[in-house]
């Protein structure tokens, strides 16, 4: 996967449309977390430094194709301006005469923030005329919103049909590079850690990664369907009965491929996932009927840490337990700490895994933290992302 990068395009005096992900949390009209704004700054700052006339576009929330003041990007403009360290102009739409006038008034190095793209239903429908209208605003298109790269929307895919050059921003470029390093041409052994609640949501990922990896660690509630497939009783925990044949297929495939597959050997049990205390620690073969297991046990945590030790590349998607409850965060934290200490290339993807790493204060010790939950998962499934494939080849 080799795409044109923003630093390979002449930007001086050009109108440069940068699609970012400013879908940030708001409280009473104020941005409460600037992480996504900060993530987009390197590309925007580069374009400004090169003398581009910068047009920044994003979605915010789910306005469902209607103008909704609570989802207006006007609320994001002050925080964006502050983080960028320069004035950001704002226009109350993303297409139309008012927007064209605002774009035409830009000087070299100026920055304009457009209103929420999803105020127009044609955005999510990838409407051709809407995409053409967005494209008419610019000379160069840059996508730096990996979180929406799996969506074939007008601002992520359609617009590229009407622009001569479509490039990846620094954020998107990093995602492509780390994907190539971790899956296309990994340093081995390659280990993948997969967690979460349900096998059904990760089955495609499991089957795809079995063909790629050397070590597979499975945690979270999805592990119970694996244990049930092995003939064990799983107490009051989540079971996807209809997935048992699929799970058997995954285990058989791992065996044939020589993939080392690790499952929990013990669990922490409690009366409910909301409990404020641990009832007991039991082996995976002794799960009691009246209790649930919201986290892997200490022996499993130690096993998983040892399993990851020889890895030279580690990809993690999905927590080991109900980490939001501090009483059941130990297993997830153990994996995070093991990855933080590892000299391997470490890549974290998926909302919950990223939250867990951030919560543990270990994000700075990882090689790469993906900015796209759904997009990252689809890459792991081996799918082609419309927002990536639409860009000009490098």
- Catalytically active residues are 36, 198, 351, 374
Please say whether the beta carbons of 373 and 147 come within 8 A. yes
What Rg do the C-alpha atoms of the chain give, in angstroms? 23
Rounded Cα distance, 316 and 192, in Å: 6
Q: Rounded distance, CA 217 to CA 305, Å?
A: 10
Q: Using CA atoms, how far apart are residues 32 and 127, in angstroms rounded to an integer?
A: 32
The two structure tokens encoding residue 17: 């449309």
The 10 Å Cβ neighbour count of residue 42 is 16
Tokens found for residue 198: 């349900």
CA 161, CA 157: separation in Å to the nearest integer?
8
Strand 165-168, strand 140-143: pairing:
parallel
Query: How far apart are the C-alpha atoms of 37 and 333, rounded to whole Å?
Result: 27
Q: Are 144 and 171 in contact (CB under 8 A)?
A: yes
Contact between 193 and 335 under an 8 Å Cβ cutoff? The reply is yes
| Of the candidates 364, 286, 283, 295, the residue with the CA atom closest to the CA atom of residue 324 | 295
């Amino acid at each position: 996967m080799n795409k044109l990068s923003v630093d390979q395009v002449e930007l001086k005096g050009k109108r440069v449309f940068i699609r970012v992900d400013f879908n940030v949390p708001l409280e009473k009209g104020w941005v409460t977390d600037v992480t996504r704004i900060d993530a987009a700054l390197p590309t925007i700052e580069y374009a400004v430094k090169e003398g581009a006339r910068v047009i920044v576009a994003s979605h915010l929330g789910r306005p469902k194709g209607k103008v909704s003041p609570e989802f207006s990007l006007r609320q994001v403009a002050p925080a964006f301006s502050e983080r960028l360290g320069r004035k950001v102009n704002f226009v109350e739409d993303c297409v139309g005469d008012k927007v064209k006038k605002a774009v035409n008034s830009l000087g070299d190095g100026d920055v304009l923030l457009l209103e929420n793209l999803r105020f127009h239903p044609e955005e999510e429908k990838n409407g051709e005329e809407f995409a053409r209208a967005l494209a008419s605003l610019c000379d160069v298109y840059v996508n730096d919103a990996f979180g929406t790269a799996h969506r074939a929307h007008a601002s992520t895919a359609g617009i590229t049909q009407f622009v001569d050059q479509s490039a990846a921003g620094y954020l998107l470029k990093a995602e492509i590079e780390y994907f190539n390093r971790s899956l296309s041409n990994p340093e081995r052994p390659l280990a993948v850690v997969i967690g979460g609640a349900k096998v059904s949501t990760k089955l495609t990922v499991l089957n795809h990664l079995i063909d790629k990896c050397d070590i597979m660690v499975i945690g979270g509630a999805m592990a119970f369907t694996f244990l049930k497939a092995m003939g064990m009783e799983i107490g009051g925990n989540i079971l996807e009965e209809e997935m048992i044949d699929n799970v058997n297929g995954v285990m058989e495939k791992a065996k044939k491929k020589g993939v080392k597959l690790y499952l929990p050997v013990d669990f922490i049990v409690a009366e409910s996932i909301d409990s404020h205390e641990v009832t007991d620690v039991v082996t995976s073969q002794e799960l009691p009927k009246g209790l649930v297991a919201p986290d892997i046990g200490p022996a499993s945590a130690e096993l998983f840490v040892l399993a990851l030790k020889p890895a030279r590349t580690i990809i993690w998607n999905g927590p080991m337990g109900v980490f939001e409850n501090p009483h059941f965060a130990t297993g997830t934290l153990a994996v995070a700490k093991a990855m933080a200490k590892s000299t391997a290339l470490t890549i974290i993807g998926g909302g919950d895994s990223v939250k867990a790493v951030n919560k543990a204060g270990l994000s700075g010790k990882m090689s790469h933290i993906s900015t796209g939950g759904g997009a990252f998962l689809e890459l792991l499934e081996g799918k082609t992302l419309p927002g990536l494939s639409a860009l000009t080849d490098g």
